[in-house]
Amino acid sequence: MDRDARGGRGRPERAAATAMTDRITPEVVRKFETDGAVWLPGLLTRPWLDLIEAGMRRNINSPGPNSRRHYPGEPGTFYDDHCNYAAIPEFQRLLEDSPLADVMAKILQTANLWLFFEQIFVKEGGHSRRTPWHQDTPYFMADGRQIGSMWISLDPLASEETLEVVAGSHLGPLYNGTAFDPDDDTAPVFDPRKFPRLPDIEREREKWNIVSRASEPGDVLVMHPSILHGGAEIREGHRRRTLSIRMFGDDVVYVERPGAGHSPAFPGVSEALNPGDPLRHPWFPRLLPRT
């Protein structure tokens, strides 16, 4: 990507950025607020997708301390890694140069925006079971209205292979996390006295307002971390490579999760902040306003 493509002399990328943020209409903002999720088809062009792919390759070739493989022994690989932003220049450049932060800030209606953390997911190498239904917020030390994740797949996905969400579930209640137990997707990971157990959504799909859609590379799903969501299974010969970028705005505060702990842990944050303090710490670089 040359200087012009990055918004240098001539700044053609600025026009593209304006076009991207202009797509965030009041209707889009309202849908995010009421449903907890909104699809933005064709938001990213090929140069940005190539940059993400290069960053994912770097991450996979040099895993971080949080990398893990789920469900060992299954035919397909289900891999994730997170909190490697400082070691992945492609991800840094993506958030510094692309309009993704501007889009997120407009959806969240925040003047300031910080990176919470990034995470990659890879399902490939054979049939891979679905990701259990869950919410992200019970794991997080962050809480507030102005927080969201951008879910970006590098691979074309049929509606039965993509991420599914339960529209409106971000409004509550907040359930226990999943222990990723291969025999019970609702098995709690945290103290069951602190959170109600996850409902068995997969067994009772007809009772829930489940939303999913086929997607192409360049489509972006923006969702609140409190929304119930689950990743569909991947069939033999297919794969799903995903980058999830979590960002937050002005109203997000530090919270403790009694009996649960935090994931990611972010060493030092709990010692520096009290519950209810604005979530500000060197772990979380400011993305907007740009300096």
pTM confidence score = 0.92
According to CATH, what is the number of the domain 26-285? 2.60.120.620
Cβ partners under 8 Å of residue 57, min gap 6: none
Q: Where do the DSSP E strands lie in 189-281?
A: 210-211, 220-223, 229-231, 240-248, 253-254
What's the order of all strands across the beta sheet hosting 163-166? 210-211, 163-166, 229-231
Structural tokens at position 262: 């935090």
Contacts of 8 (CB under 8 A, 6+ apart): none
Tens digit of pLDDT for each residue in 202-245? 999 999 999 999 999 999 999 999 999 998 888 888 899 999 99
Mean pLDDT confidence for 126-150: 93
CA distances from 215 to 16, 40, 84, 162 (A): 21, 10, 26, 7
Q: Using 50, 70 and 90 to split pLDDT, how confident is the model at 13? A: low
Domain map (residue ranges) of the chain: 26-285
DSSP E strands in 59-128: the ranges are 68-70, 77-82, 113-124
What angle in degrees, to the nearest 10, is found between the helix axes of 26-35 and 100-108? Answer: 70
CA distance 248 to 281: 13
> Residue 2: pLDDT above 50?
no
pLDDT at 10: 42
